[in-house]
Amino acid sequence: MRLFCDLHIHSCLSPCGDELMTPNNIAGMAMLKGLDAIAVADHNCARNLPALSKTCAAMGVLLLPAMELTTAEEAHLLSYFPTVEAALAFSEEIHAYLPPIQNRPEIFGPQQVLDEDDEQMGSEDLLLLNALSLSLDELVKRINERGGAAVPAHINRGNNGLLNVLGFLPPGLEIAAVEVTREIPCRADVSNLRVLHSSDAHYLENMLEREVSYEVAEKSVEALFEYIKRGAM
């Protein structure tokens, strides 16, 4: 069946994410837009996923657990996981590879961790915008070993898109799919890869409408995850 999705959204945990990007607002907006599934992929941290899994469930929207990692090369790499627990475990694992630089909320934003009522439970102290001291190769390997799916983010857009960082898609990299920004030409040949299109929304109004869909076996997080993961085969 066809699932209409937006698989790259930031919550208020991301320093660049708007403070209105709360678990309830994101889930509510996804429902209003008629989305079947979303993925919230905060920078280098998964701590808002437990609340989002509850608010999305309440709104009848599937939540695919995710993070957007910054590799040592400064490339953005999406990681998708079949469960919130797996994403949280990987979030804790990579936290040790963030540089010990404190966030400055007045400059970068408060990096809020919220509960399912949008009440603040805490905040992330280290600046999540920084690059991890793990290479692209190492992160892809670890994501695969932990049962996740590695998907280079917006490969054709911005200073952090893989094509702009490296100049090419490394052959042999065990990625499941690539995310391509639709509005910009893509100079790499991605015809043999699973291609995802998402909003990378940092504000509620930038989330996708019912406009991008994927043909999956059934309406479930497992089936959506398998669709992405199988892109590698």
Which residues of this protein are in contact with Zn ion, per CB under 5 A? 68, 76, 153, 200
Distances (CA, A) of 54 to 40, 81, 97, 117: 13, 17, 29, 10
Distance CA 220, CA 224 (A): 6
Q: Specify the residue, 62 or 78, whose C-beta has the smaller distance to Zn ion.
A: 78
Nearest distance in Å: CB 161, Zn ion: 8
Nearest distance in Å: CB 160, Zn ion: 5
Q: Which amino acid is at 38?
A: I
Distance CA 117, CA 54 (A): 10
Look at the block and give the residue holding tokens 């910009």. Answer: 184
Nearest distance in Å: CB 94, Zn ion: 16
Nearest distance in Å: CB 209, Zn ion: 18
Q: Specify the residue, 47 or 76, whose C-beta has the smaller distance to Zn ion.
A: 76
Q: Specify the residue, 62 or 66, whose C-beta has the smaller distance to Zn ion.
A: 66
Nearest distance in Å: CB 210, Zn ion: 21
Structure token digits, residue 224: 């959506």
SS3 track for 163-222: HHHCCCCCCCCCCCEEECCCCCCCCCCCCCCEEECCCCECCHHHCCCCCCEEECCCCCHH
Residue whose beta carbon is closest to Zn ion: 76
Q: Specify the residue, 76 or 142, whose C-beta has the smaller distance to Zn ion.
A: 76
Structure token digits, residue 136: 């692209």
Q: Specify the residue, 36 or 68, whose C-beta has the smaller distance to Zn ion.
A: 68
Q: Measure the CA angle with vertex 115, ends 108 and 90; round to 5°.
A: 70
Look at the block and give the residue holding tokens 């998907």. Answer: 151
Nearest distance in Å: CB 217, Zn ion: 27
Distance CA 127, CA 105 (A): 9
Q: Specify the residue, 68 or 116, whose C-beta has the smaller distance to Zn ion.
A: 68
